[in-house]
Amino acid sequence: MDDEFITIARIAKVQGRRGEVAADLHTDFPERFEERRRLFALTSSGRRELHVEEHWAHKGRIVLKFAGVDSISDAEPLVGAELQVPRNERVDLGSDGTYQSDLLGCAVVADGREIGRVTDVQFGTGEAPLLVVDSAGREVLLPFATEYIQRMDLPAKRIEMSLPEGMLELDAPLTEEEKRQQREQS
């Protein structure tokens, strides 16, 4: 089952003549490559177990050398593959931490009504990440901030929030009356 694995990197290119590959990291714990020797490569043809022989950082990426991948032609089929680990091998974040992948698909409920489901999480837009919520085909952005979260039940894929009045209307499409008023002001 695909949700039993977590993507921690994606292979971007072949990096050397001995079958090395360069990968973009999708983890906040790159130091785990020191101890992690077993990874799974997810390609269009399926998932394959790989064993890390060597690794090192290079130009913002991680370079990996896998056992049995000893030439450029051995490495080329891995380009584009997601490097994954079993979900149960993730780093424990403690009670205050949440994995982004655990938020995806969660129903967001505010004031007793379901707003929609989380489709993405955006970072770098402010102090709190933003939950991207599909609300009946409309994208709603909600701050994933402690002060708005009442309860999270990640196994049940449910986030209950208390949102400030008017927050859901911030990105709402204009009503016909608002469109008419804008035309008159132009």
Query: Residue ranges per domain, the chain?
Result: 2-89, 100-162
Structure tokens at 150: 């009442």
Question: What is the four-CA torsion angle of 43, 46, 51, 54, rounded to 10 degrees?
Answer: 0
Phi-psi map region of 53: left, alpha, beta (phi>0 left; psi -120 to 50 alpha): alpha
C-alpha–C-alpha distance, residues 132 and 150, integer Å: 18
Average pLDDT across the chain, whole number:
86
Q: What is the pTM of this model?
A: 0.64
Q: How far apart are CA 151 and CA 94, in angstroms?
A: 16
Region 145-155 average pLDDT = 90
Is the per-residue pLDDT at 1 higher than 50?
Answer: no
* 170-178 long-range contacts, CB within 8 A, separation 24+: 171/138, 171/139, 171/140, 171/141, 172/138, 173/138
Reported as a single tens digit per residue, the pLDDT across 151-182 is 999 889 999 999 888 777 666 555 677 667 77
Assign a CATH topology to domain 100-162.
SH3 type barrels. (2.30.30)
3 state DSSP class of 73: helix
Q: Residue 59 above 70 pLDDT?
A: yes
First-last CA distance in the chain: 55
Residue 124 clears pLDDT 90, i.e. is over it: no
Considering the segment(s) 2-89 as one domain, its CATH architecture is Beta Barrel (2.40)
- pLDDT score recorded for residue 178: 63
Q: What number of CA atoms fall less than 13 Å from residue 83's CA on the CB side?
A: 28
Q: What is the mean pLDDT of residues 12-22?
A: 95
Q: How confident is the model at residue 35 (pLDDT cuts 50, 70, 90)?
A: confident
